[in-house]
Amino acid sequence: MTLIDLSAPPPVPAGILDALPRRVALTLLELQHVAAAAGGAPLPFEVRDPERPDGTGLDDRLGRSRPASDAAAYAEALAALHEPVSSLARRGLVDPEGAVDPGLAGAVGLLASPAVALDLEVVAEGVHARAWHRLSADAVATLATVDGLVFELAWFPAAQWPIELARIAALPEEAALRDSAVPRVVQLPYELADAAAEAVRTDRADLLAVLAEQHAAVTDATGSPLSAVDAGAVLRGLALEARGRLRAMVADATRTPTATVGVVSWTLLADGWHALRTRHAADGDRVEVRRVDASDLAADLAPVLAEVAR
């Protein structure tokens, strides 16, 4: 057996470290200090006073509202955060003269003035994460959080972006996956999918059998209609297996005001992620539900991102 000597790593090719993402964990107070030092660069969210909920703060940008008890806990945790300048200095992110690390300042600056803005929201396995990805020329800066208190700030060449997108869609190793009643590819009218979801939301799952009578409208990857039994299983699977969601919104930040270009949506079913793709047909809009992996997110976003480049 040959052992690898980790104490003497092989030489790193010149320039490879420059291509690797740099990541820094920052508390909210540290992030705000870096933004102020970067010429007052605006962050991609607003922080709401926990004592004065007004519907415009970070919780709302995260797609959730915070109960009163949680708001009190959040305010307490926020008040307990360390003073930002000293905590940044201890990690070498602020020099003795008080200047912020140039990489940090540059990343926050890129967040504030990109060409393309991508906002992502992921709800899965009890975690509610939000990430902001910003592209300018050949560089990308990202900011992500799950609690609004601690953030990951990263920056890297645009060539690394697909890998970073896969990170946010990756499911935890302990996620329990099983077979799904939904095939790898299936299509159905948007109204039918919406009606099935509404039936479950209103505790009328018994209506799924009635909806399945429209089985000729549910087709497989080849466009062939599913049987009534299979169509009913698909509707039940889509409605009852849903355990998470991913939403990515792309905007052209060069326009004033910023213009939304498109949205990519995934749903987390029993066997993993499924992309929801709208297909226009002569008889109305249809939804294609296709099994995907985390590594497919970049490819799913590519057509939308291409719209910005036009």
Of 279, 155, 131, residue with least CA distance to 219: 279
Task: Quickly count: other Cβ atoms within 10 Å of residue 134's Cβ.
Answer: 24
pTM of the model: 0.84
Cis ω for the linkage preceding 9 (within 30 of 0): no
Any idea what the Cα angle at residue 150 is, between residues 257 and 297, rounded to 5°?
Answer: 60
Axis-axis angle for helices 297-309, 161-169 (nearest 10): 130
pLDDT tens, the chain, 310 aa long: 333 333 334 443 444 445 668 999 999 999 999 999 999 999 999 876 555 544 445 555 445 555 666 778 888 888 888 899 999 999 999 999 999 999 999 999 999 999 999 999 999 988 999 999 999 989 999 999 999 999 999 999 999 999 999 999 999 888 899 999 999 999 999 888 888 888 888 888 788 878 877 667 899 988 899 988 898 899 989 988 999 999 999 999 988 888 889 999 999 999 999 999 998 877 678 999 999 999 999 999 999 999 887 7
Q: Chain-centre distance of CA 260, in angstroms?
A: 16
Residue 118: CA count within 13 A, CB half-sphere: 28
Spatial separation of the C-alpha atoms in residues 242 and 147, rounded to whole Å = 23
Tokens 């009890």 belong to 126
Q: State how far the Cα of 106 lies from the Cα of 98, in Å rounded to an integer.
A: 16
Is the CB of residue 144 less than 8 Å from the CB of residue 118? Answer: no
Strand boundaries in the chain, DSSP class E:
22-27, 116-124, 127-136, 139-145, 150-157, 185-189, 244-252, 259-269, 272-281, 284-291
**Rounded Cα distance, 177 and 272, in Å:** 7
Using DSSP, state whether 160 is helix, strand or coil: helix
Q: 145: closest CA among 156, 133, 131, 164?
A: 131
DSSP state of 42: P
Q: Read off the tokens for 221.
A: 């990857």
